[in-house]
Amino acid sequence: MTAFSALSHLVCSRTGTHHDADIVQNLSPVGAPLLAAYDLERLAATWRPEHLHGRTASLWRWHELLPVRDPAHVISLGEGGTPLLPMPRLGQALGIDALWMKDEGIVPTGSFKARGAAVGVSRAKELGVRALAMPTNGNAGAAWALYAARAGIGATIVMPKDAPSITRNEVALSGAQLYLVDGLISDAGKIVTQAVADGGLYDASTLKEPYRIEGKKTMGLELAKQFDWQLPDVILYPTGDGVGLIGLHKAFAELRALGWIDAARPSPRLVAVQAAGCAPIVDAWTRGAAESAFWPASRTVAFGLNVPKALGDFLVLEALYASDGCAIAVDDVALLAAQRQAATLEGTFVCPEGAALFAAAAQLRESGWIRPGARVVALNTGAGIKYPDTFEATPPVLQPGDRLPR
């Protein structure tokens, strides 16, 4: 009988050294993210796609490729299993014949951050963590605060004071300790680092704990199944810290090792989409660099993209280079126009970060980078309703008894 999890060990993303997965870990001794590794050879001998049949359509249907060893420690709010929506009218407008959107806006907490929180909090509970802390641009902090509340784990969340008010309220309602900083997420991160050093808190910052990425990689596992194990040609992903993009790349590598997707077929070309006001990955990719440089005075209405320097930037760039992908920046005017266009043509109210994908897709199709006939997926990471300040309706006000204008 296959174990609930095939987790084997942790691997330093810089040196490749192995580390114990069954104790509380943060970064490796060289300050690099630790990545979960699984006994894929043994798993491949016993686990087949048909074993997914009959399982609940949540991310936990992939539990063999997730790090929680005992199902008693699973903390869930029903995350995962999001739809893959055809976008024919928008695709026609963009000149893309086969355009889909994977919609993460319908998961608990309204963003894909719920995936990382579900797995990260579950594993933290299993390892005995009692209180955690993290910086956030909003959605991740909201998700981790709510999942921590469900797990009975204390949470301390630090976010920029300009973060979306809804995410601030989610954190406060969860009972977590919420602090606002008059600065960027990088400033919040420094405060959390000091608090962790003072003792009593586990550092759940992005990629400083090994398991958030495991939850996010399930987007890639689901995509493979939704495409009947024939992956699309292009996947566009809104890139702030880039953990989801790293997770997609990791998911496809694990599926190849299991023999579930054809190793001879090329990987989807991954596209990191950033805002013009904060585009360190685009700058690094343009230069062919292995790491990004800190982006000063960053600013964008797509708050989740406002990450001046990501800890895992080298992993994002490795995924782009390995998949023959690219990085592209779009300005706020273009992404807000794309948000309206997606709603008008397809009835989908996507978050600003998700809207940036469609603005980028238009540019890439016009330049020829997206080829005719390519199957293209835009991975929308959240619901537009979480950003009430990005659009303001100004309808006419009628008086009782007025007629509608013709």
From CA 237, how far away is CA 248, in angstroms rounded? 10
From CA 117, how far away is CA 212, in angstroms rounded? 6
pLDDT at 6: 98
| Pair 101, 85: CB distance under 8 Å | yes
Question: In DSSP terms, which residues pair with 133 in a beta bridge?
Answer: 156, 203
pLDDT at 246: 98
Residue 47: CA count within 13 A, CB half-sphere: 24
Domain 84-111+212-386 carries which CATH code? 3.40.50.1100
* Conformational region of residue 297, where left means phi above 0, alpha means psi within -120 to 50, and beta covers everything else: left
pLDDT at 1: 62
Taking the CA atoms of residue 123, residue 150, residue 161 and residue 298 in that order, the dihedral angle to the nearest 10 degrees is: 30
Contacts of 392 (CB under 8 A, 6+ apart): none
Q: With 70 as the cut, is the pLDDT of residue 280 above it? A: yes
Q: With 80 as the cut, is the pLDDT of residue 2 above it? A: no
From CA 99, how far away is CA 184, in angstroms rounded? 34
201-227 pLDDT, tens digit per residue, is 999 999 999 999 999 999 999 999 999
Residue 180 has phi, psi (to 5 degrees) of -105, 145
Contacts of 48 (CB under 8 A, 6+ apart): none
23-42 pLDDT, tens digit per residue, is 999 999 999 999 999 999 99
From CA 341, how far away is CA 332, in angstroms rounded? 14
